[in-house]
Each structure stands twice: as C-alpha cells, then as structure tokens.
Amino acid sequence: MATGIILEAKDVVKRFGGLEALRGVSVEVGREEILGLVGPNGSGKTVFFNVVTGVYKPEGGRIIFKGRDITGLPPHAIARMGIGRTFQVPKPFSAMSVRDNVMIGALFGKHGAKNPYEAAKVVDEVLELTGLAGKADLQAGLLNVPEKRRLEMARALASRPELLLLDEVLAGLTPTEIDEALGMIRSFRKELGLAVIMVEHVMRAVMNISDRIVVFNAGRKIAEGSPSEVANDQAVIEAYLGAPITGGGRE
C-alpha cells in the first residue's frame, strides 16, 4: 500500500426505516493506528462497525479496505480479507470450549488454517497472549463477563486480522482490569502490527490509548483529532451536555 491508510469509510449512510443511524460519516484509519471512536449512546458507533463488517449494507457511501472497495460484500468475505471484530454484547459459542471458540477464529477469518491441527499453534499463542490459556478447556458459556470479552478479542486475534474493531471491550471492568486490557491491546499492535478502532465509553482509557479520536453524535462525525484537541472541542463538550469528558467514568 502506497499510503499508510488501511480503512477508508466515505460518506456512509445507513437508515433503519425513518431513522438515519449514519448520516454520511467519513472515517480513515492508518496502518498500526489506534483510533478511538466515541460518542453518546445511540450515536451510531455500533452501526458503523456493522456496516464496515458487512452485517448491514449502507444506503450510501463506500468502504475501502486496503485499497479495495468492500461495500456490500458478505461478512464472511470481509472477515477473510482481514477485519476482525468483537461484539458489544459478547456472542461466545457457549457450548464449545474456550479453545474451540478461538479455533473458529484461526480456521476462518484471514488466517484461514486448513484444519484444526494446522490452527493449533496460533490458537495456543492467542490463548497465551489473552491470558485464557488456563481456561482453554472450560465451556465458553461458563466464563464471567470480563473473560467473555477477552474471549471475543482472542477469537478475533486468532483470525490474524490487519484491522481489529473493538466494541466497548472495557465495559464493566474494574480499573485494574482496564489497565490490563489496555496493555494487552497495545501489545497486539506492537506484536501483530494491527490497526485498531476502539469504541469506548471509559474516557480515561480512550484518551490514554488512542493515537487519534473520532467523535460521533446522532449519526454524524462532529470532531476528530488528537485526544487533547478533541477534549477541548466545543461541539464535543456540548454533545456530552457539558460533562467534563477527561474526567473518566461513563459518558
């Protein structure tokens, strides 16, 4: 790639009946960049992830990944090109073991191992990296919430994505767990060279980890820049109803 850009979403529009969830948003992500995506509840962050991963077809705009137009491709095809994601509400394969969950990631997605034996190495590596090795044989449905979120990340990582979309993976974690998770995400980038878009409500964390931040409000991008630029942006402060957004906590 000549440019350092891995994902380019241009003027994306997504409607649900009369509701316009995305009203022409454009977002760019650089290779190995960590981009924070913030905004009030219902501002369209999860819908944006769903459009990028092909779950929803946009009514307007284009999604360009690694220079290729992927708009309208089915989700499995997009996953195979190298976009991995987690779900805001974890969707583990509950009756399967933690290991088999991660195995699905390694077999499908970009890594695309041909069989479970070939996938085993990546699976072990990812279980180690995400601290789930000790729980590998446990049924995924029996994990607690923070572990389920880590499993979401592990599955996505095992597919060897070049771009990882994280949807509120820090929600409900204690401050210590948040610091652990942030360290983990930084190490993904460093060791695996991937770009990350991180949707997050925990402001302290996003400000801390992001290279750049994009702010959505009511389906529009209202601000974009470095963490300190965004924190002092008048439109952003108004969108959050004047709440001091550098202060941490939810919203």
Ligand X SMILES: Nc1ncnc2c1ncn2[C@@H]1O[C@H](COP(=O)(O)OP(=O)(O)O)[C@@H](O)[C@H]1O
Which of residues 112 and 225 has its CB atom nearest to other proteins in the complex?
112
Contact between 138 and 87 (Cβ < 8 Å): no
| Residue 44 interacting partner from other proteins, Mg ion, ligand X, none (CB closer than 5 to 8 Å by kind) | ligand X
Considering only residues 189 through 208, tell me which ones interact with other proteins, judged by CB under 8 A.
none
* Residue 229 vs residues 5, 16, 40: alpha-carbon distances, Å: 21, 33, 18
Residue 58 interacting with other proteins (CB under 8 A): no
From 46, 50, 86, 210, residue interacting with Mg ion (rule: CB under 5 A): 46
Q: Alpha-carbon distance 219 to 158, whole Å? A: 32
Instruction: For the CB of residue 83, give the shortest distance to ligand X in the complex, in Å.
Output: 17
Which range of residues in 32-40, 109-117, 196-204, 221-229 is near other proteins by CB under 8 A?
A: 109-117
Q: Alpha-carbon distance 65 to 7, whole Å? A: 5
Residue 80 interacting with other proteins (CB under 8 A): yes
The CA R_g of the chain, rounded to the nearest whole Å, is 18
Burial label, 108 (beta-carbon count in 10 A; 0-12, 13-18, 19+) = middle
From 37, 113, 153, 195, residue interacting with other proteins (rule: CB under 8 A): 113
| Residue 53 interacting partner from Mg ion, other proteins, ligand X, none (CB closer than 5 to 8 Å by kind) | other proteins
Number of residues this chain uses to bind other proteins (CB under 8 A): 32
Cβ-based neighbours of 171, under 8 Å, separated by 6 or more: 88, 149, 201, 202
Residue 160 interacting with other proteins (CB under 8 A): no
Residue 53 interacting with Mg ion (CB under 5 A): no
Cβ-based neighbours of 237, under 8 Å, separated by 6 or more: 243, 245
Q: Which residues bind other proteins (CB under 8 A)?
A: 53-55, 74-76, 79-80, 85, 87, 91-96, 100, 103-105, 107-110, 112-116, 155-156, 159
